[in-house]
Chains A and B, each alone.
Chain A
Amino acid sequence: GNSVTQMEGPVTLSEEAFLTINCTYTATGYPSLFWYVQYPGEGLQLLLKATKADDKGSNKGFEATYRKETTSFHLEKGSVQVSDSAVYFCALSVGQAGTALIFGKGTTLSVSS
């Protein structure tokens, strides 16, 4: 079946530290991969996506590269800010008809100044 595994949180960092959140997936087809972010009390927002192998998604200083050989889509940011504190979800979708997102369990990031 299709599934996503994310590193367990919480992740606690100081401002300007380097961030990596690991994400690996299992898929029966050829998935598209996404990172969504949920700020406290809000809905989910798309952070970045990649739809084919070796694609790099990037947004707001965050990056993730679709690695088919390692079935991974790790999220990175070179210098985190307090405002990046949120829950980050890795997700995939496969197929054409009626595709839903399959989410990892989420990783809580807390950045202190």
Chain B
Amino acid sequence: DTAVSQTPKYLVTQMGNDKSIKCEQNLGHDTMYWYKQDSKKFLKIMFSYNNKELIINETVPNRFSPKSPDKAHLNLHINSLELGDSAVYFCASSQGTGGFYEQYFGPGTRLTVT
């Protein structure tokens, strides 16, 4: 059983399009995250949700909009895609919001904008 799953695994699209990435966790966790990994493999937090509430919103263009329909799902919608959005996007979840909780990561979605 996959703990944190993401769809799609690969996404190739053109500039200006709108796309969504879906994330689901079956661990019963309360907190979910989106991270972006750039071409140099640097990872940075984008958003965090706890019990469907947004609790972290880093400096991310407002073309990116997360949505959490329930505790087990956190989707990422991106409007008007740009070349610079090309990256690998990772979803993660943790049992709580305390700093000592381990985060479990999904396999990633490689987004390529042409």
Contacts and interface: CB of A to CB of B under 8 A. Distances in A.
B69 interface: no
A32 interface: yes
B13 interface: no
Contacts of B101: 99
Given A43-B90, A100-B33, A49 B44 contact: no
A57 to B, nearest CB: 11
A99 B97 contact: yes
Interface in B50-72: 50, 55-56, 58
B50 A46 contact: no
Contacts of B40: 105
A98 B43 contact: no
Interface in A13-48: 31-32, 34, 36, 38, 42-46
Given A43-B105, A46-B103, A51-B100, A100 B45 contact: yes
Interface string B86-114: 00001010000111111111111000000
B41 A106 contact: yes
Given A43-B90, A98-B31, 12 more contacts: A34-B102, A38-B41, A43-B4, A43-B106, A44-B92, A44-B105, A46-B103, A87-B41, A98-B48, A98-B50, A99-B101, A106-B43
